[in-house]
Amino acid sequence: MFNDLSTGQLVAVAILPTLLAIVVHEVAHGWVAYRLGDNTAFMMGRLTLNPFKHIDPIGTILVPFILIITVGFAFGWAKPVPIDWRNLQQPKRDIPLVAAAGPASNFLMAIGWGLLTKLASILPSSLSAFAEPLTYMGIWGIWINIILMVFNLMPIPPTDGGRIAISLLPSRMSYSLQKIEPYGMFIIVGLLLTGILWQIIGPAVEIVVTLIQYLTGLH
């Protein structure tokens, strides 16, 4: 759908949904941690939607921009919200809840962008100049949030899915998975560069995007 947009137009419709997807994901981790006893992110001023508090020059700007102009789509990351796991009230229960908060926020944002896209589709033709970019923005918002959600649920530390798996697996399996964490990002980058990453997450992304479209009346 985005092939008929120029690079400038694509960046224009992608920048807000992408920033929100990345920033709200991190804030969600910090907010749930705060509710469960850890105020580290709150004390450091990271429970804010101000993107300048969360921007990672490489993960939030450079990587998404390069991917947008080269392959027409992108994902990225923000500076991780600081969490002191020792402050959580019940670590065995709370660690997976904090980890799951980021992907859950992406799912909810995808629904929000779907509803916005549906709204754009029923606007009168006299507002087409406004409805068309809103539609592109909404569709991008759905896809970028679901891609981030599915990607982060991969059980490879240091992703959220890896954190959840480490918390829930039996001790021996959890310990074995923990040992992968120092190499996790290298594994993920390797999967990305070889194209295997999309082969792994692509089918799940497409299923969830279809679900969002049904939930928001786009199908």
pLDDT tens-digit readout, 87-106: 999 988 999 999 999 999 99
Give the chain's domain count.
1
What pTM was computed for the model? Answer: 0.90
Active site residues: 26
pLDDT of residue 75: 65
**Residue numbers of the domain that contains 35:** 2-215
- Please name which of 138, 169, 137, 172 lies closest in space to residue 155, comparing C-alpha atoms: 169
Confidence class of residue 142 from pLDDT cuts 50, 70 and 90?
Answer: very high
d(CA 184, CA 187): 5
